[in-house]
Structure 1
Amino acid sequence: MTTPDTEAPPARVRLFHASLVWPLQIEPLSLEVGKVRHWEELVRTQGTHPWKSLDDEFTEDPGMFRERHYREFVSFLPYVQRFLYGEGRCDRPKGSDSVKDSPMHVFRRKDIAVLRVTLREGSAPVELEVVHIDLYFFDDLDLVQLNVEVRARNLSLDTVRNILFRFGRAYPSGWDEEGGGLHSAHAVEWVGLDGQVMARSDTANREKFLKFVCQHRSPCISEHWASLLRPLVLADSDEPGALRFRLIEYHRMPITAYVALEQPRALSAEEWIRLGLASRLHPDEPLPIHEPTVIDFEKLYCQDRFWTNTEAGPNTRFICTGSSMMMVGDCDSAFFMDAERGVLAQFRHQYFLVFLLAHVHRAALLVFSDILVGAVNALTVSNDDSVRAFKRRIRSNFETFLRFTHRYWFHELSERPHVQAAFRMCSNHLRNDALYDEVRDETKEMSHYLDSDSQRRQSNTVVRLTVITILGLITTVTTGYFGMNIIAFGDGAPWERLLHGVLATSVFVGMVLFAIVRSKSLSELLEVLSDERAPLRSKARALWRVMTFRKP
């Protein structure tokens, strides 16, 4: 306890974990690459880049399968388990090492050991240990998720808030008076296993970002992120590469955080708000006390199922804003710090996957919407090739959306109340259900348009066939009346019979072609002739238009 005359010491974070989850839209592969999927192209080019395919934790040796992996697996419902982990080994073909029917493919690079962040100019750099860096690919989705997990010990709470606010930025939102990137860290460096700097941020390079936006009408990402993703390259850049990506959302990346605090019960209401909204609130600016997100902070974003605010505990608070997910607890709690059975294990496994799946849903829906917009923008109604390409894109997108609905889209993923509540809270803040309804309605509208266009074309074809059939009926009845032998062709020489056959065929082909060319005028003539109320003058005028090749 602190006396009124003494100031409470600044809060310390004994253990800090943070995981960035950055969704990116990946463009379809070019024809030169062939009919392979994105992750297969990454496998095919292994050896030219640091990304390696990562098998899941279900290794051949059961002794290497840890309890935290088991707890993660049984947290989810069976259909979610099949989505995340695939089928059993008994169903794999002989000699195959890949999980059967697993739609998620993970790649990891292990050449980076430390993330060095200088938050402000002149401040001491903070070194964060890189736990892992992964890429998640998904079958049937033009989507890839970058995951970067880092950790550190013994940081001040102010430093943690600054890291959460400044680290996950793809590009600067502007520049301050000194030329530094606005809202970004002053410097970010990836340090390799040998201690050498592998890549460094360039947010202060104002001309680079201005020039790129001016030329390409799209933002450029900072160099430390571009180097991390290679051989994936930005779609609008001049850098060569088969795997090209586009940004989907705002430059602030979704993030999850685990914060083990000394005496979390001692935090004031303002400190809780600043910590929970750390990725949104500038650490140096006053708290906007009149904003609804601040006024109703606990009601909107906090889940206090495991928060008792007592000495006995537990004192673990779950905070989710949609773009961020955070678990804050007491560093003196053995259960909160347990990396095998406790909250730390749950944060790094169950809760991370919950956050990942919620953002996969949102990102996939945004990609579907973008594909529809691109198809409409590329449509030129007067160009037949453009119309055919539009139909192919819409039907392909509709088929992919159906597979997404039945393979990836679900509302219930766990029978455990706290896991399911976390997923619903995250999805609700991201507005995934409303976004799904919007994309579904847009897809249905496009599908209905294609169906109506097909029906229109079919009706036009039926009209033409009807006209041709009527003309053929006249010929058939006439020749049938004369017994099909008006002229005795069988009595002539072979060349005469051949000549007569060619001439007759030419006449009938000409009649059919005439009927096709004039089918609209002929159909109008049939309508006028069948109309009992139409005067004789109108019927004669319609016949004259057909005979004189005038437009109806």
Structure 2
Amino acid sequence: MTDGLDASKILVDGFTEILFWPLNLDLGPKTTTDALKKAMIKVEDGLKDEEIWQEVKDPLRALDEGSDEEKNKREAYAAFVYFHPFIQKVLFPKTDDPNRLLRQFRRSGITHMTAVFKNLSLTFVVKRCHLYLISETGTALFVLEISTQHLLSLDKVQTILEILRRAYPPFWETDKKAGNIPGNIPREVFWHGPKEDRHQPPLTFEDCWEQVAAKDTRRTPRARHWEEVLGKAFFEHPWMQVTDERIPAMAWISVDQPKEISYGDWVRLAFLDSPGLAKIPYGSGYLTDFEKNHCYDAFWNPKENLTTRYLVSGYGFVSVGDKDSGYFKDAIHQHFRRHYFYMGLIAHLQTAILLSLSDRLSDANELDDQDAQDLQKSTLDFTHRLWFPEISNHVQGRALFALWRRHLGTDRLYEQVMREAQEHNAFLNVQADRKAAEAATTLNLIATIGLSLSLVAGILGMNVLVDAGPMPVVLQEKTSLKSAASWDWSHLPLVLNTLTMVLGLSAVGLLLLPKEKGSLLGKAGKGLVVAAILAGVGWAVSSLWRYAP
């Protein structure tokens, strides 16, 4: 299995790479659905105001190229009918659909990209530079497709696959003359357009350290060439990396001798690893069942001239075939750019959104009722609108998508998020039951006061405060209201007794009600005790007044 040519001796005459960079808005603790929607509106407005991004009105025709209209229609048609109808609604919504889940933008002004590596400098054609946004979850997915027809050796392709997809330097090397050198990232990247070239100086260690060590805005850094292509307006918002520095990628590679690729280089291609001296880059135990777990070999049998192989590792998807196969260079290349690309788009969006929901559910217990319900609705909407274990009836499509999702761990992540959502929903139900119990307690309070009033009225009668007797003469001399309604002031102690009885019985009733820590009754417990004491004092005073000689 280790036999084969050295990677430097295998020629690549066709190379296409597509990068998927998933990002989620990070609005801090207690992020709400409404806040995400408002923030995404600002993102879209900023993209339009900057005028380097234009919204794609018809996603079905987003990849139209050249002047061959019939060819563009055929390719768009083949991609559309490849997927289930519910996938078609997500990927290719109607042009006038205001409720489309995905909003797609196209970057203008960039036609080529030059990447400078340690021992290699290469210019690529930029075939696609798109940005997908989902407002409800605050998710963005940046897509860059580059291609070259330059003859390359397979080891150089491996270097490109390993280095180009880095979002920031994972480490720094030290050189006595050059100082700190960023590791595993292009030394420089230039963007070329019909009007101007765009270039930012490479990151320095001080730049990266300031971003990592900042107390208020501590975050992972970003390479300047990615900030340049996405634009200032986009990065005015707090985007969070979904993955580490390795941006997921797809690659289509046309080689002159696919059957001469060694086992170790197949492993490197599957894991998007750089070339190395070792025949096998990992231990044999780690690579148990490599072909079964990472290779789709329905069209791989070199003895029978079947020379197309697919390698899947979750963050990587690589299609390798013979340069002399017209079918691989035409049909498979088209499928790679459309059919397989859309598989990857769905798979990586699912992962990014699930991670966003999981992050929000971790703070869900601190949300108010309405925001908590909105979060539950967002989880349910994801299940109904973007959770697809299968996306096509085609055997190959089902198998590749299942393999891709398995390596991304999408099913496991989905189960985790659903479990978190269920636990949060259970918490909401407990809160609702508690509020219902507090409402019942309030009703009991009202009933207790009413019972006290009814008891007093039953003992003293309903007319205790009404009497036609004349006002005392002493008081008549001290008031000008001689014609006022008469009142028997001898009833005043009885009135005071009545009021204090009501207060006392109500206080005793409240004290007897069950009280939870932190509840209204629990906090008012001391006040109720004081009220009961005052009621007793009032009762004693009024009784002395009433029965004094």
Q: For structure 2, list consecutive stretches of 5 or more residues without a partner in the other structure.
A: 471-480, 490-494, 516-527, 535-549
Single out whichever of 71-80 and 472-481 deviates more from structure 2.
472-481
**Inter-partner Cα distance in structure 2 for 1:274 and 1:57:** 34
The Cα shift of 1:289 comes to 3.9
Which residue identity is paired with 2:13?
Answer: R
Between 285-294 and 295-304, report the one with greater CA deviation.
285-294
1:35 to partner: Cα distance: 6.9
Counterpart of 2:513 in structure 1 is: 523
- Does the CA contact (< 8 Å) of 1:467 and 1:522 recur in 2? no
Q: How far apart are residue 453 of structure 1 and its match?
A: 2.2
Q: Which residue of 2 aligns with 1:183?
A: 184
Amino acid in the other structure paired with 1:450? L
The counterpart of 1:297, out of the listed 290, 306, 311, is 290
* 2:152 aligned with 1:152: no
Alignment of 1:240-251 (within 5 A): 241=236, 243-251=237-245
2-side partners of 1:294 and 1:158: how far apart? 21
Report if the CA contact (8 A) 2:172-2:183 is conserved. Answer: yes
Matched residue count: 487
**Structure 1 counterpart of 2:112, which letter?**
V
For 1:23, the equivalent position in structure 2 comes to 22
Q: State whether residues 9 and 154 of structure 2, in contact with CA within 8 Å, keep that contact through their aligned partners in structure 1.
A: yes
Distance 1:544 1:33, change over 3 A: closer
Residue 368 of structure 1 corresponds to which residue in structure 2?
357
Aligned equivalent of 1:486: 464
In 1: Cα distance, 2:404 partner to 2:315 partner: 8
Partners in 1 of 2:219 and 2:376 — Cα distance?
27
Query: Does the CA contact (< 8 Å) of 2:125 and 2:147 recur in 1?
Result: yes
Q: Distance in 2 between matches of 1:507 and 1:400?
A: 60
CA displacement at 1:273 relative to structure 2 = 1.7
Are 2:82 and 1:75 equivalent residues in the alignment?
yes
> Shift of residue 346 of structure 1?
0.6
Q: 1:519 to 1:198 in 2, by over 3 A?
A: farther
Q: Distance in 2 between matches of 1:508 and 1:156?
A: 102
Correspondence for 1:466? 444
Change (3 A) 1:489 1:173: farther
Asked whether the equivalents of residues 18 and 249 of structure 2 are also in contact (C-alpha less than 8 Å), the reply is yes
Amino acid at match of 1:457: K
1:401 matched to 2:379: yes
One of 432, 439, 447 as aligned partner of 2:425: 447
- Contact 1:112/1:191 (8 A) holds in 2: yes
When residues 474 and 427 of structure 1 are mapped into structure 2, their CA distance, relative to the original with a 3 A threshold, is same
Runs of 5+ consecutive residues of structure 1 not aligned to the other structure: 88-96, 235-240, 380-388, 526-542
Q: Give 1 or 2 for the bigger CA radius of gyration.
A: 2
Q: Which residue of 2 aligns with 1:192?
A: 193
Whole-angstrom distance in 1 between the partners of 2:446 and 2:89: 57
Q: Deviation string for 1:79-122 (max 9, x for gaps)? A: 111121124xxxxxxxxx533532111001121121111110xx
Match of 2:133 among 122, 128, 137: 137
Match for 2:111 among 93, 101, 113? 113
User: Equivalent residue of 1:181, what SS?
Assistant: strand
**Distance in structure 2 (CA, Å) of the matches to 1:508 and 1:136:** 74
Following the alignment from structure 1 to structure 2, what is the Cα–Cα distance between the partners of residues 11 and 507? 106
Q: Per the alignment, in what secondary structure is the counterpart of residue 117 of structure 1?
A: strand
1:6-45: per-residue Cα shift (whole Å, max 9, x none)? 9998111111110000100024699999974625752466
Partner Cα separation in structure 1 for residue 388 and residue 229 of structure 2: 32
**CA distance in 1: counterparts of 2:460 and 2:7, whole angstroms:** 116
1:404-443 → structure 2 map (5 Å cutoff) = 404-443=382-421
Q: Does 1:84 align with 2:71?
A: no
By how many angstroms is 1:68 displaced?
1.0
Between the aligned partners of 1:517 and 1:206, the Cα distance in structure 2 is 70
Report the Cα distance in structure 1 between the residues aligned to 2:442 and 2:44, rounded to whole angstroms.
Answer: 52
Q: Secondary structure at the match of 1:443?
A: helix
* Structure 1, 170-179 or 402-411: larger mean CA deviation: 170-179
Amino acid paired to 1:330? D
- Write the letter of the residue equivalent to 2:163: R
- What's the secondary structure of 2:15's corresponding residue? strand
**CA displacement at 1:72 relative to structure 2:** 0.6
1:48 aligns with one of 50, 65, 70: 50
SS of residue paired to 2:420:
helix
| Paired residue type of 1:324 | G
The residue identity in structure 2 corresponding to 1:368 is: L
Q: CA deviation at 1:522?
A: 2.7
- SS of the counterpart of 1:394? helix
1:464 is displaced (CA, Å) by 3.1
- 1:327 corresponds to which letter in structure 2? S
TM-score by length of 2: 0.79
Q: 1:150 to 1:547 in 2, by over 3 A?
A: same
Checking the alignment, whether the CA contact within 8 Å between 2:36 and 2:138 is kept in structure 1 is no
Structure 1 residues 427 and 230, CA gap change in structure 2 (3 angstroms): same
Match of 1:352 in 2: 341
SS in 2 for 1:175: strand
**1:285 positional shift:** 5.5
Q: TM-score, normalised by structure 1?
A: 0.78
**CA drift at 1:183:** 1.6
User: What SS is found at the alignment partner of 1:106?
Assistant: strand
Distance 1:289 1:403, change over 3 A: closer
Match of 1:256 in 2: 250
Matched residue type, 1:521: L
Distance 1:401 1:133 in 2: 30
Which residue of 1 is the match for residue 319 of structure 2? Answer: 327
Match of 1:310 among 278, 303, 315: 303
In structure 2, distance between residues paired with 1:183 and 1:490: 102
What is the correspondence of 1:487-526 to structure 2 with a 5 Å cutoff?
487-488=465-466, 521-523=511-513
CA distance in 1 between counterparts of 2:508 and 2:374 reads 36
Q: Hey, what's the Cα distance between the residues in 2 that align with 1:222 and 1:474?
A: 75
Q: Deviation of residue 415 (structure 1)?
A: 0.3
Equivalent position amino acid for 1:301 in 2: H
Give the Cα separation in 1 of the matches to 2:502 and 2:18: 71
Q: Partner residue of 1:125?
A: 121
The answer to whether the Cα contact below 8 Å between 1:18 and 1:255 also exists between their aligned partners in 2 is yes
Cα deviation per residue 1:241-288 (whole Å; 9 max; x = unaligned)?
A: 3x43121221100000000111211212222222222x2x34235333
Residue 411 of structure 1 aligns to a residue whose secondary structure is coil
- CA deviations over 1:188-209 (Å, ceiling 9, x no partner): 222222462333532xx11111
Are 2:184 and 1:206 aligned? no
Letter in 1 for 2:383: T
SS at match of 1:66: helix
**Structure 1 residues 390 and 302, CA gap change in structure 2 (3 angstroms):** same
Contact 2:251–2:319 under 8 Å retained in 1: yes
Q: Give the letter for the 2:101 counterpart.
A: P
RMSD of aligned alpha carbons: 3.9
SS at match of 1:55: coil
CA 1:12–1:448 in structure 2 vs 1: closer, same or farther (change >3 Å)?
Answer: same
Change (3 A) 1:448 1:317: same
Residue identity over aligned pairs, in percent, reads 26
CA distance in 2 between partners of 1:395 and 1:485 (Å): 53
Would the alpha carbon gap of residues 134 and 508 (structure 1) be closer, same or farther in structure 2, given more than 3 Å must change? farther
Structure 1 pair 477/289, CA: closer, same or farther in 2 (3 Å)?
Answer: closer
